A and B are shown apart, each in its own frame.
Chain A
């Protein structure tokens, strides 16, 4: 019983965290491709503040939490997600940027667009899902 209760709490915690994330994406207007594109065209530097603000909060959380807590409040260990620099990362990031510069939509806002009544973002969402599928089918 206790185990399933914990799983439920974890699910609700994940849902709430996602909701904060999605609210922030919308509030910062990152769900509007025009705003993202105006950053990429050097007309509005807001995206720097969005990214800077988010990185600062996450940096504090990632650094401080493991010092203050032996384990996360609802699970038994802190995950690590090491990134590596290799040919795939370089090529992938370059292609990601080309797509982002063309449409002004990245994965988070494409998902958030579903909730914010921006239904044209469904086209970008479909494109992203398709791109991820093709990448996985080509990978070995």
Chain B
């Protein structure tokens, strides 16, 4: 089968297989423990260990903070297996400037928590359970991300 290299200049198989593995991870979590495994909640629930404010002490964070941290640790381990076993352990690096990573990250964290989900929470778990608010959230963040990425390429490059 040939698929247009114009759409996928780096190939397409690793995208599809990698995506299916991401889905299998969230699926396995559900089948074994019944949990819905989005990724951004861990950033709020982990703060509940140290920040006493009422927002962070909500049951939804305190009751799930243990497993969410274990889940995140699993993500690190899975990435480590890939790095050492499949990528030859060469350090990965990015040319994106530090300030963009930091400021962009800040908006990612603030926005994902305000909107109750990120690319995995709304994008994978939300769409996977056919929830239309998640579809609207995905369309919204895709739109602002397209806009920002293209403007940044024009103005900051």
Contacts and interface: CB of A to CB of B under 8 A. Distances in A.
Contacts of A18: 25, 29, 37, 70-75, 77-78
B151 to A, nearest CB: 8
A93 B113 CA distance: 9
17 contacts: A11-B67, A21-B22, A25-B22, A25-B78, A30-B18, A72-B33, A73-B31, A79-B36, A90-B137, A113-B79, A113-B92, A118-B93, A121-B101, A127-B104, A132-B113, A135-B109, A135-B113
Size category of the binding interface on chain A: 35 or more
Size category of the binding interface on chain B: 35 or more
Contact of A123 (B8, B98, B114, B130): B98
- Chain B's interface: helix, strand, loop or mixed, by majority? helix
- Chain A's interface: helix, strand, loop or mixed, by majority? helix
Interface of A: 10-11, 13-35, 37, 40-47, 49-62, 65, 69, 71-85, 88-108, 110-121, 123-137, 139-140
Interface in B99-148: 100-134, 136-138, 140-148
